[in-house]
A and B are shown apart, each in its own frame.
Chain A
Amino acid sequence: MPIDFLYPEYEVVRDASRCIACRACERQCSNEVHAFDEELECMVSDESRCVNCHRCVSICPTRALKIVKTDHTFRENANWTGDTIRELYRQAGSGGVLLSSMGNPKPLPVYWDRLLLNASQVTNPSIDPLREPMETKTFLGKKPTKIERDEDGRIKTELTPQLELSTPILFSAMSYGSISYNAHESLARAAEALGIYYNTGEGGLHQDFYKYGANTIVQVASGRFGVHKDYLSAGAAIEIKMGQGAKPGIGGHLPGTKIVGDVSRTRMIPEGSDAISPAPHHDIYSIEDLRQLVFSLKEASGYKKPVIVKIAAVHNVAAIASGIARSGADIIAIDGFRGGTGAAPTRIRDNVGIPIELALAAVDQRLRDEGIRNTVSLVVGGSVRSSADVVKAIALGADACYIGTAALLALGCHLCRSCQTGKCNWGIATQRPDLVKRLNPDIGMRRLVNLVNAWTHEIKEIMGGMGINSIEALRGNRLMLRGVGLTEKELEILGVKHAGE
């Protein structure tokens, strides 16, 4: 047997005085950590298989289990950390590219946490959202540059197609294939119940979910999986995915083992074939090319639906967004470097892209400077973790926020970051039927609705405290923000003053 360089990262701690050997942990762990030892007549565990997803911990009826990080340690130093050493050993063993999932876990600055919100005192009254109306309704799409009147002097009220959201939150793109049927059903039903939208991702739209079309954004990505006329017509908007925050500049790869049954049919590719999304769209090498695709999609869907162009936040994001705004797109979606993924090369996920807060501020300012901010709406994502992040994003200039990881957490995800194994114990990032059924959409949908309703309540409370009664009045209102512990340059890019100023 070769030398095992890696000591398990987590330890399973079982309180023997509580364990009743019901074996629920054993039955529920797809990684086969737990087993019943007939000889010893007790439960035993193989912690080397544990991914710390907490499925066993959550269902144990006597709370006999907990998972702890091992205190076994390498001879670490500030340069060669345990994680760095571990990854190096793994690569020396496998010779492969390291894969990871979910968002960038590195301790890079989270600007949301360095921004503080304002509140009214004495001279400007705050508003109590329980007593006074508070508007969270948001429209996404082009807004007219000026008021136009017809020959009789009446104001022309016809607008280009808009998305109407009851609250400035959307579920971000997660494909059917990367997540399960039941996860998609939960998102679709929650979006319908909330009056918001979910996004199909690049895997096409399952036949069963066409009925939620009014609350669906259909995505067209570089692989063009599952794209056909009915698909484009089914949704409320069409999103062209140019990039993803977790892996800017590279494509996607859904292994053939996940292309089974309905996933294969929905993606319109043969069973067992790898679904490879190229890094670029092979027909897009310029803004002019992008414009062609934007208008091809508009033409195909009868100019009835707004077109979104989604990009990853990268160094020149402001200039790129300016180009997109001129390509005819109605909405620009920007995904920050902390955005999630079902699988990405670890080095790309952890080292490529820029924080969404800086990208958003830069894009909003650039579009304003160029006088074209009204021609597009801005949707941002890439680790929006709470209602406070939503409020800060809107104050920085966003029209709405995409939430992906937060939505998955509501469905039961415990951020174990092993989606790429396809053995999700929570029935989310898997296609194994026995695991998929662990996510009952009746429960999943309710939890998503609860989450967004809770955030909406909080958004109203926070806005009320600032004396603001609508999302419209908060948007781009950077005077409501102050930075703490930020440099002059950071404040300049964010366009906010330092606390105390």
Chain B
Amino acid sequence: MKRVYVDEKWCLGCHLCEYYCAFANSGRSSMVKALKNRKIHPRIRIEGDNQISFAVSCRHCTDPICVKSCIAGALSVEEGVVRIDEEKCVGCETCVLVCPYGALMPSESGVMQKCELCIENAGGKPACVAGCPNKAIIFEERA
């Protein structure tokens, strides 16, 4: 299955992936309309400093501990992609506690959100990958 991988060697820490992510998940037609004068809630986050940085988002684990921990059955695996049903989420934040990558976080509405590989938006091609100026985020199949 194709996953998002990051290469810290080429990450510039420009944070553009966060903005492309927030835009892609906004449902708006332009980045300006979507993000102007707003605090963004991206599903990918840059960690590190100016010397070493990298983007962190859901790893789509083969045996995801977040899915097991979800008390509301909001998290599930569909064709390898860990998905969240925001209608079912009760906001208990157990998944936030158990995820070793910090890949889930509260959304603007209070329920949890996570990277779903842009399958519902951006034409199925992760927006962070398309927007990275230095090929530091890659979408590919690895053994």
Q: Which residues of A contact B (CB under 8 A)?
A: 17-20, 22-24, 27-28, 58-59, 61-62, 433-434, 437-438, 440, 442-443
Contact = CB atoms under 8 A, between A and B. Distances in A.
A367 B32 CA distance: 63
A59 B134 CA distance: 11
Contacts of B16: 22, 24, 59, 61
Interface string B12-32: 111110011001000000111
B9 A437 contact: yes
Contacts of A59: 14, 16, 133
B12 A437 contact: yes
Main secondary structure of the interface of B (DSSP, over half): loop
9 contacts: A20-B31, A24-B14, A27-B12, A27-B13, A59-B14, A59-B16, A61-B19, A61-B31, A62-B31
A22 B134 contact: no
A438 B35 contact: no
Contacts of B35: 20, 22
Interface residues of B, number: 22
Nearest to A182: B10
Contacts of A440: 10, 134-136
B19 A22 contact: yes
**Chain A contact residues: helix, strand, loop or mixed:** loop
Interface of B: 9-10, 12-16, 19-20, 23, 30-32, 35-36, 50-51, 131, 133-136
A28 B14 CA distance: 7
Given A28-B12, A59-B133, 20 more contacts: A18-B32, A19-B36, A24-B15, A24-B16, A24-B19, A27-B15, A58-B133, A61-B16, A61-B19, A61-B20, A61-B23, A62-B32, A434-B12, A437-B10, A440-B10, A440-B134, A440-B135, A440-B136, A442-B135, A443-B135
Interface centre among B9, B13, B14 (most CB of A within 10 A): B14
A23 B46 CA distance: 14
B51 A434 contact: yes
Nearest to B19: A22
A438 B134 contact: yes
Contacts of A28: 12, 14
